Structure 1
């Protein structure tokens, strides 16, 4: 169940960060409320995950996937540019997460 909670926490954090961009500095009501609700949900779910998984591994997965997802959303939804070094860097982040999951005994699986 902790992996499902982690996936949901990442999803809420990603939605919250996207809404934060559209809130225009918390000057628009609905995107601001969505941001707060998503961040609260993400942190609550993350706290549930931390009952089972180590904090370092959990945070590495949460932040790493969040970076990749937000950069991808920025590229698709907001027209933000991703150059080759950015894409390579994100590929390294995903590779690091895969290496942790497949080869590390620290992930709690």
Structure 2
């Protein structure tokens, strides 16, 4: 049997869930995950989204601040990569709250 979230855990997870509550951010996260190598720059992510590159950059900033993606500058490009541990944590919390036994 699981345990209830602490207030700190709940606050941290709420930031992640809030970041994921936007459909564009969900699509951005999905686009990064779908890329070969699991990383993408803004120009890669903007393909197929009817959103400007500055808007995508804003959404990536929100995802980064929520701990869902990391970024790395290479020359004039910034590449974004999903943080697998963050997604695993969300999955575990949702599974635990639903009463499911999650195994790795």
- TM-score (norm. length: structure 1): 0.29
Highest relative contact order (Cα 8 Å, sep 6+), 1 or 2? 1
The structure richer in helix per residue is: 1
- TM-score (norm. length: structure 2): 0.30
The structure richer in strand per residue is: 2
